[in-house]
Structure 1
């Protein structure tokens, strides 16, 4: 492989071929950039992590008290999970990921943040479908305690509330299924979700059918490919008492 590009791993998955790549772009400095592709589609890049980290910081800032039990839906390259663990109030973090390949990259430390997650005893990988666990009243995010309620659920799986990683995920975005997920939160628990798009009024209205308070945050970051700013958004919702 070229010193500027390496395909670290490529595996079949239920969603198609998923691959992990490392590249260097001299114009962007002396650093490795990690990318994940699903088929021909780019899923994520370590060049742009501000919004994934903001999902944790904004979501957890809305949570009161300590200690905290928190769920992260979607492992990715680990940035949301690592940002969450910087909050010392967290006593346990359950990172739910449907693809064993992605969990394997972290456990085998093929991605940089795997070492951090593996070394933190508060972190627990859960191999399962976030959406199945979220909407099944008999299932739970903690494999050892299906009835456990959580202080926060942080979700970063689909591209947006209307653009899905998998068409089967569309059914989650309803009052009924969001309500089933909210039932797994404690009183005044927080649900936060990342989106690649600006806040969508229709989705905000849907969230308000389930949650007592809904706020939308625009996260801006520099995009060197566009020589300017790009934006993502984070929805932060609080359950009633």
Structure 2
């Protein structure tokens, strides 16, 4: 096998075959690039992580207080979770992912940030559907503490509010289900979400039916494959004090 490319793992999942790959692109320097594919579709690359990190930094910047309890929906390559743990106010971080293989990659440190997450006692992996847990506030995200409230919920699973990793996720993006999720936030808690697309007015309007304040941020980053700058977006919403 070429030293420039290696498939590290490939497993069946509820959404299809998921694979972890490592490659080097000499023109981009002496570094390993990690990629995740679902079937033939590229899900993520360690080359493009600015917006995933911004999801944490922008979301947590709106959270007040300390000893924070935070949920990250979607583990991926771990960049959102590690960026969250860089905030010293975090007391506990639950990282929810529906695909056991992805959690295994981190637990076995097959991806670089697995070592960082495993070494931090504030981090805990939760195997389960974010969307099922989000819409069941009586049990909630924490299997050890039913009905627990969180200071922030950071979501990076679907490609956008209208383009879904799994078609079943579409039902989450309604006032009713977003309200159920918001019940799991403390007063004045924050919900933030990543999207691969520019901010969408219709989605901001939907979020405004649940949250008191809704902001959208356009995140720019270099994309050498496109020969220029690419963008993702991050929505940051704050629950009103009841």
- The reply to whether residue 125 of structure 1 matches residue 125 of structure 2 is yes
SS of the residue aligned with 2:194?
strand
After TM superposition, the structure 1 = structure 2 runs for residues 132-143 of structure 1, keeping only pairs within 5 Å, are: 132-143=132-143
> 1:140 offset after TM fit, Å?
1.4
Q: Distance in 2 between matches of 1:145 and 1:137?
A: 11
Structure 2: distance between partners of 1:114 and 1:35: 14
Partner of 1:207: helix, strand, or coil? helix
Task: Show structure 2 runs of 5+ residues with no match.
Answer: none
Which residue is 2:168 aligned to?
168
Map Cα deviations across residues 149-194 of structure 1 (whole Å, 9 max, x no partner): 0000000000000000000000000000000000000000000000
1:14 aligns to what?
A: 14
Report the Cα offset of residue 139 of structure 1: 2.0
Q: Displacement of 1:146 after TM fit?
A: 1.4
CA distance in 2, matches of 1:137, 1:234: 24
5 Å-filtered alignment, 1:148-159, equals 148-159=148-159
1:84-119 Cα offsets, whole Å, 9 max, x none, are 000000000000000000000000000000000000
CA positional deviation for 1:44? 0.2
Q: Residue in 1 aligned with 2:74? A: 74
Unaligned runs of 5+ in 1: none
By how many angstroms is 1:143 displaced?
A: 1.1
Matched residue, 2:100: 100
Alignment map for 1:102-117 (pairs within 5 Å):
102-117=102-117
In the TM superposition, residue 138 of structure 1 has moved relative to its aligned partner by 2.5
Partner of 2:235: 235
What is the match of residue 194 of structure 2?
194
Secondary structure, aligned partner of 2:148? coil
Count matched residues.
Answer: 241
Q: Please report how far the alpha carbon of residue 137 of structure 1 lies from its aligned counterpart in structure 2 after TM superposition.
A: 2.9
Q: What is the TM-score when the length of structure 1 is the normalising length?
A: 0.99
Match of 1:50 in 2: 50
Distance 1:114 1:178 in 2: 30
Query: What is the alpha-carbon distance in structure 1 between the residues aligned to residue 43 and residue 175 of structure 2?
Result: 27
Are residues 1:222 and 2:237 paired?
Answer: no
Question: What is the CA-CA distance between 1:136 and the residue it aligns to?
Answer: 1.2
Q: For the aligned residues, what is the CA RMSD?
A: 0.5
Cα distance in 1, alignment partners of residues 38 and 147 from structure 2: 34
